[in-house]
Amino acid sequence: MELMYKSTRDQGDFITSSEAIIKGLSDYGGLFVPTNIPKIHKEIDKLIDFNYKELALYILKKFLTDFKEKDLIDCIEKAYDDKFDTEEIAPVCKKGENFFLELYHGPTLAFKDMALSILPHLLKSALKKNKITKEVVILTATSGDTGKAALEGFANVEGIKIIVFFPKEGVSDIQKRQMITQKGDNTYVIGIEGNFDDAQNAVKEIFNNEVYNQLLNKNNYILSSANSINIGRLIPQIVYYFYAYLKMIKSKSIKKGEKINVVVPTGNFGNILAAYYAKEMGFPINKLICASNENNVLYDFIKTGIYDKNRSFKITSSPSMDILISSNLERLLYYISGKNEEVVLDLMNDLKVDGKYEIGDNMRIKMKDFYGGFASQLQTSNCIKEVYDNFKYVIDPHTAVAYSVYKTYKNETKDITKTVIVSTASPFKFTNSVCSSIGINVEGKDDFQLIDELSKECEINIPKGIEDLKNRKVFHKDICKKEEIKDAINRFLKV
């Protein structure tokens, strides 16, 4: 039976998974969701020996039902190949009583590789399936990691152009360098004078601008997205939660059927939403622990039911989470409202007009499996040091936020459930923060010098993806104001 997709904000037509991947965002600004979340039917015993690719095929077949199996296999084989530095793709590393799910072994050293390695191939297959000959323009705003992972995935893919906007003062030096040195005639990277939310809002407005989309159509272009608002980004993320659980059973760390917690550092809510989907499929999750940095809008929402972006925006050591508008939360609102499109539309209108909204008790009660916490800059730094001192294991600031929130959760609840801490980025992407936390002198040294310092001090190899990063040629130098984003797109597309 074919699984169809619909918008969170209206009762429009149902569309196939391939159509949803191509469109990215619905016509009225809503996000695409499956009409139901499929359940897992195979016994754990039958899944336990699956490798990452086999498990990916099993999960993707349940959601992407209009794709042929051979096409999905082809996409998976191209995505999870030797661009990852480990055959496991997503290893689970046990340190003391902590289980770290390492999602940074891809080419850009961040968890975004887990989905953005496969999205270009899914999109290309979807275009062929739907007989679309127009050139696709991927439009993406990034808080640091999505941009490079999307550029890496889509560079030189025939029939697709990719445009990435990033806050020029809101990413690490290494994240910025990764993006502006990206090769590929079909790539365009622009720094904006503003924060991630400014870029994301401008991109969404372009998607929803009917007149502008007609102009692009006349010039043989259609828009799509590589952000986690694209369902083709979200679904592949479900795989690694199942994979971690199976690895823990196989290592005898947990028993079959035993529930675990997951702690996810998140700003845009996509990564933890994938864990929610896994839970709804039948994955035995006890608590979904949502970890925020000082931009703690999600923490406040989970605690009070009030989402309020009317607050100062803080630039932190975990820039990929420096977000005040968590786009993927809309999908959760859809489910906890009983799949009520009118409720979601009203809440999103409140957010647009007033910068905030409040959910009722009937929706809050359906969030009982979520726990929200946040970590200050000092707590984040202290946790990097604590983990290194105790286990000689180096974590990045985003992972440290998750570790800190988990410590708070344990102290508050006394819950002894085994817990997976999602490690979303390599410490080599944030060398200044990491080095200063563990006692390496950073004075007078740039992030690139600190790559060598970190490698030497901690006796860990520099990842291939950034070995020669400092010496790579810069191809993208453009800067624009947030209100000039459309003009920048027009210049690149020559429309």
Domain-located, residue 10? no
Active site residue 112: yes
On the question of pLDDT at 117 being above 90, the answer is yes
With 90 as the cut, is the pLDDT of residue 195 above it?
no
| From 62, 112, 161, 429, active-site residue | 112
| pLDDT for position 359 | 98
Average pLDDT over residues 183-191: 95
Q: Is residue 327 part of a domain?
A: yes
Q: Cα 269 vs. chain centroid, distance in angstroms?
A: 8
**Any domain includes 260:** yes
Tokens of 183: 């090769």
Res. 208 pLDDT band, cuts 50 70 90: confident
Containing structural domain, residue 328: 92-109+232-463
In the prediction, which pLDDT does 441 show? 95
In a domain, 171, yes or no: no
Phi, psi of 33 (to 5 degrees): -135, 150
Q: Is residue 421 part of a domain?
A: yes
pTM exceeds 0.85, yes or no: yes
CA distance linking residue 198 with residue 141, whole number of Å: 9
Report the C-alpha gap between 214 and 219 in whole angstroms: 9
Whether 31 has a pLDDT exceeding 90, the answer reads yes
Model pLDDT, residue 283: 92
User: Could you tell me the pLDDT band of residue 45, with boundaries at 50, 70 and 90?
Assistant: confident
In a domain, 149, yes or no: no
Residue 85 is assigned to a structural domain of this protein: no
Total domains, the chain:
1
Q: What is the CATH number of the domain that holds 315?
A: 3.40.50.1100
pLDDT value at position 194? 87
The reply to whether 55 falls in a domain is: no
Instruction: Name residues whose C-beta falls within 8 Å of residue 209's C-beta, 6 or more positions apart in sequence.
Output: none
* Residue pair 306/360 in contact by the 8 Å Cβ criterion: no
Residue 423's φ and ψ, nearest 5 degrees, are -100, 110
Does residue 461 surpass a pLDDT of 90? yes
46-91 residue pLDDT tens: 999 999 999 999 999 999 999 999 999 999 999 999 999 999 999 9
